[in-house]
């Protein structure tokens, strides 16, 4: 029994006897040569990447690749579209993290100024 899929790229249509399942991330990659099947979702890294990423402008590209000669796995290529930077670790974008830290510091400074002016 396969576990439920919690991924924005997974599509399933069972309305009135239809049995359509597909991965829209892999489907939109024209360079993907291996077929997608539902069991790939069980080991797919995409839902975890989307939950943990620090990049606000993340663009993913997925493909099915054969690992160890017998196992099919989903491989992910990630890019930050704001900084046009390929991410080696899709869960972290150093440039976006630096921007977020600057914004947070600016917000804290503005809050301190507001608090000081109220006194």
Which of the pair, 111 or 8, is modelled with greater confidence? 8
Per-residue pLDDT, 46: 92
**Is pLDDT above 60 for 1?**
no
Any idea what DSSP says for residue 43?
A: G
Whether the predicted pLDDT of 98 surpasses 80? yes
CA 16 vs. chain centroid, Å, equals 31
**Can you give the pLDDT at residue 36?**
87
Q: pLDDT over 90 for what percent of the chain? A: 20
Q: How far apart are CA 18 and CA 60, in angstroms?
A: 29
In angstroms, rounded to a whole number, what is the distance separating the alpha carbons of residues 4 and 60? 22
Residue 110: CB atoms within 10 A of its CB come to: 10
Phi/psi class of residue 87: alpha, beta or left (left: φ > 0; alpha: ψ in -120 to 50)?
A: beta
Measured in degrees and rounded to the nearest 5, phi and psi for residue 61 equal -135, 130
Instruction: List pLDDT tens digits, range 12-59.
Output: 888 888 778 889 999 998 888 888 888 888 889 999 999 999 888 999
């Amino acid at each position: 029994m396969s576990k439920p899929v919690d991924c924005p790229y997974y599509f399933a249509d069972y309305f009135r006897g239809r049995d359509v399942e597909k991965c829209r991330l892999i489907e939109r990659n024209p360079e993907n040569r291996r077929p997608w099947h539902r069991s790939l979702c069980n080991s797919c890294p995409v839902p975890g990447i989307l939950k943990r990423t620090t990049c606000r402008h993340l663009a993913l590209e997925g493909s099915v690749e054969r690992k160890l000669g017998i196992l099919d796995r989903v491989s992910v290529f990630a890019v930050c579209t704001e900084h046009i930077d390929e991410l080696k670790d899709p869960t972290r974008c150093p440039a976006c993290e630096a921007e977020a830290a600057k914004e947070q510091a600016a917000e804290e400074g503005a809050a301190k100024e507001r608090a000081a002016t109220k006194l």
